[in-house]
Structure 1
Amino acid sequence: MSNRTMNDAAPFLMSPEIRDAFADWLRHLGSERRLSPKTLTAYGRDARQFLAFLATRRDGPPALADLRDLTPADLRAFLSERRQQEAGNRTLMRQLAGLRSFARFLERTGRGEAAAFTTVRGPRISRTLPKPLPVDAARTVTDAEARAGEEKPQWVLVRDAAVLSLLYGCGLRVSEALSIARKDAPVGGRDDVTVIGKGNKMRTVPVLPQVSQAVSDYLALCPYPLAPDEPMFRGAKGGPLSPRIVQFAMQTLRGALGLPENATPHALRHSFATHLLGRGGDLRAIQELLGHASLSTTQGYTKVDAARLMAAYDAAHPRAQRS
């Protein structure tokens, strides 16, 4: 059954008890677990695909008893079919995570166990380590003067520098920086900013004086009126600034400064964490600043720092030199 067919058929291939449990599970994920709308959509789609798959194997809508009777072979067959539909390892891991969440919810709400979900191992995913910019390069891209030769209004160059300053100076995601309302701008003596990150989780991060000054310079030059509750960063025509424009600004800077392709806006967030860690920053504190739900995510930066340390060791230590 094709991916599209599975999606179209799924709503009609749920038994009433499964349909009720499915709806309760999604409400639980949204209200109590506070998962993002995108994650809810993905988990719901993944579970519907699996239920549609079961329906085709059982010639009818699966019941709760069918989930209790699942075997690891059933799950492996589903994953195999999804792989034939060109689903990648990350997609398969997400699907398995969503199905395990559904199974745990069934058990907690007294609807029965589905032990098979915990016995199947997902595909391995090779994690790409963060690639931070050198300190000097990170500083340069946050300076509006780095693009002084471009034929763009000065307020646009200053605006882009302010956004990039928030990414590198505060470790924000692009979406977080662009969602800051005018009333929450870190200016006028305010030395922190509160943002809402993944999963609608709120966090407050400190703001350096240089970053506050960059934002203040932008606000002084912005030609558009800024309502208190609206995003403070505006596009050329006055609407909310698009993340694509920030990406384009970094692309221009890469060309002008000879930076590698991995010098993206998100690389500035990686640079924030890695440079803090390299200066002795506490890993737990960096986790809080980045808004990572798990310390293991932040620990990826320790591997980067260790790799850079070993490279410096091999290059400089006398005992590491080969004659």
Structure 2
Amino acid sequence: MHEGRIIAAAQEERFSRRKHDSSFPAQAIQYCLGEAGIGVDEIGLVAFYDKPWLKFERLLESHLAYAPLGLVGFVRAMPVWVKEKFRLRRRLREGLQALGPFQTARAPLLFPPHHLSHAASAFYPSPFAEAAILTIDGVGEWATATLGQGQGAGIKVLRELSFPHSLGLLYSAMTWFLGFEVLGGEYKVMGLAAYGDPEAPRTRRFRDLIETELVDLKPDGSLRLNMRWFRFATGSRMASARAWARLLGMPRRRPGAPLTKAHAQLACALQQVTTAAVLGMATELQRLTGARHLCLAGGVAL
């Protein structure tokens, strides 16, 4: 960005050809600098998309809350944090300095909240001077969804849904039960939902089970997960395959196994619940802001 105007944007995976590439985005940065016609030494500000230490606080508190089982997941997560997350500020500086004479004194590193980053990614490139902003994903630091408002250069969060209650994590848990990859296969579940009959008795039964057992969904889109059915807070797995099989009357699909009509109807029911939740949030946000325009961001919005 230069003087509030977006000059270029790029993802590292577009250059490396590795899907979900999490390496330092050297090639993407070089592309953006080239489009802007500047060098690394002319960068004035660097922003990372969340607050790592606040995320670590959430991991620590949630794992301790589910001790002793949660401690197992915490111990498993620690090597990544020690190796990468705790050294993030240094890694960013070193990565930029490898591209040229990056001046750390000239370009401070900022770490905005995860959902504020989502909101900015939707509102600032939009053509709107004022808009309601809805962000929904699995989880950032603590927030899992935010209702906000953008005006000019400012973004204000009006309401927030917090971990572990998350529409995105509900969707990911069902993605796991349907045999797809968590944080990678959710789009396949959305596609599978189109093959389910929304009026079929089994689809209705699945939706009733989701809304009565798995999630308490309010008309304004706010929700609470029934955590007795979920295990993601411990870091071990999304849920108990055996417990969900008893609840839904069908076993968890093995990855790569054939898809059946029942799988499509379960995906359809999940999509109905997701649609109801998002429409509820959007309606409530319109009531709060009176805005005519809506910007959406986050994994669920995608």
TM norm structure 1: 0.30
Would you tell me which structure has more strand in proportion to its own residues? 2
Bigger radius of gyration among the two: 1
TM norm structure 2: 0.31
- Does 1 or 2 have the higher relative contact order (CA < 8 Å, sep 6+)? 2
